[in-house]
A and B are shown apart, each in its own frame.
Chain A
Amino acid sequence: MNAEVAAAPTAPEKKEFWRWQENVWVDETKDWKTAKVVTCGIDVGSVSSQAVLVVDGELYGFNSMRTGNNSPDSAKNALQGVMDKCGMKLEDIHYVVGTGYGRVNVPFAHKAITEIACHARGANYMGGNGVRTILDMGGQDCKAIHCDEKGKVTNFLMNDKCAAGTGRGMEVISDLMQIPIAELGPRSFDVDVEPEAVSSVCVVFAKSEALGLLKAGYTKNKVIAAYCQAMAERVVSLLERIGVEEGFFITGGIAKNPGVVKRIEKLLGIKAMDTKIDSQIAGALGAALFGYTLMSKKAAA
């Protein structure tokens, strides 16, 4: 590849409560220049985009940022961010795999792979080969996935109709309550009594219901708790359709919200596995690992 990835312009946005932490990271203990194979995974989701670099099959760096109006630009910006951090150029990367809803719009990708397969592969790396059930709580949809010890999908389900009760919904509640998104989870436990779940996690209805609860005297924390509970109940009903096996792992932005995660764990009676790696990069990480496998197969042939 010799095309340059030029950073696409991004319009400055004013600080808002829903804005989650964008993140760029590289593993300073590794030197990509000595690596045999450098692969990249790009996950262009409806709300966030990630670029992950894998060197010789190991996570090396990533960039996680908000998706802009245009998928190719989001892919370019995400990749440029992490390449700048480590002085890499596009031609230094041997293979690029695109995933996420915008996967076919990653102009420099060699292959597109669905986010279902990529999340399973990423979760297998992040949580180890004991991971069997994955819940991906993305920006606008949720997926329940079973995988084997190699991270290969054995069963999956996603709700194709309603995008409610996901990352975007949390952003709306955060803005409505005027509370930074990272504080929603901890605040949801700061209530006198645990409230009933709001009846709808649909972004539109939840907004009017939340306002109604505030008027009825609910504290903000209690409204947030009711919303977190609704979201947990909703994803648990999705998970129950395919069943939950030990080795339960949550990927996607909502994995960072203990208000939802702890309620899911309570409903299921099972604890989610821990990881030190940012849960939002699971799809892009899986894509980069697929790239590594494809390169290894090619080299062996």
Chain B
Amino acid sequence: MIANYGYKDGSGEYYISIDTDKCIGCAADRACLTACPKQMFEIITDDYDDEVAWIKKPNCRTLAYDCADCKPSGGYSSLPCIAACTPGAIKHSW
């Protein structure tokens, strides 16, 4: 399943999508949990009883701010979450 977390507002679209099929038996040892400096990822049991990553609820409303330090303007050339998730489950819309 592709799960999109985030929002669209007057300033743009801010969604993080997670391909949760890749989280089942994660080949990266749940690296998203420790890679994110804001600790936005969490492992949950979804509606189909699979253990997958999601973005913590409060962060879903503040992604543009939460991720700002990791974006190129914050000096990063690649995002820590995307680099750590070697199965390639994570995508950012902005």
A positions within 8 Å CB-CB of B: 113-114, 116-117, 152-162, 237-238, 241-242, 290
Contacts and interface: CB of A to CB of B under 8 A. Distances in A.
Contact of B8 (A113, A114, A159, A242): A159
Given A116-B47, A152-B48, A161 B4 contact: no
Contact of A156 (B1, B8, B9, B13): B1
Nearest to B8: A159
A161 B9 contact: yes
A241 B1 contact: no
A interface secondary structure, majority? mixed
A156 B47 contact: no
B27 interface: no
B47 A113 contact: yes
A161 B93 CA distance: 16
B interface secondary structure, majority? strand
A159 B7 contact: yes
Interface of B: 1-9, 13, 15, 47-48, 57, 60-61, 93
A155 B5 CA distance: 11
Nearest to B47: A117
Nearest to B4: A157
A160 B6 contact: yes
A152, A238, A241: which has the most chain B beta carbons within 10 Å?
A: A241
Contact of B7 (A116, A156, A161): A161
Nearest 10 CB-CB pairings of A with B: A161-B7, A117-B47, A157-B4, A160-B60, A155-B2, A161-B61, A160-B7, A113-B47, A159-B7, A160-B61
Contacts of A241: 4, 8, 13, 15, 93
A155 B91 CA distance: 14
Given A117-B47, A159-B8, A161-B9, 9 more contacts: A116-B47, A153-B1, A153-B47, A156-B1, A157-B4, A158-B4, A161-B8, A242-B2, A290-B47
B34 to A, nearest CB: 24
Contacts of A242: 2, 4
Contacts of A116: 47
A277 B9 CA distance: 34
12 contacts: A114-B47, A117-B48, A152-B48, A155-B4, A157-B15, A160-B60, A160-B61, A161-B7, A162-B7, A238-B8, A242-B4, A290-B47
Contact of A237 (B8, B57, B93): B8
A290 B48 CA distance: 10
Contacts of B8: 159, 161, 237-238, 241
B43 to A, nearest CB: 16
Contacts of A155: 1-4
Contacts of B61: 160-161
A155 to B, nearest CB: 4
Nearest to B62: A161
A141 to B, nearest CB: 11
Contacts of B3: 155-156
Contacts of B2: 154-156, 242
A289 B83 CA distance: 40
Nearest to A290: B47
A154 B15 contact: no
B9, B47, B60: which has the most chain A beta carbons within 10 Å?
A: B47
A175 B41 CA distance: 42
B4 A156 contact: yes
Nearest to A200: B10
Contacts of B1: 152-156
Contacts of B47: 113-114, 116-117, 153, 290
Contacts of B48: 117, 152
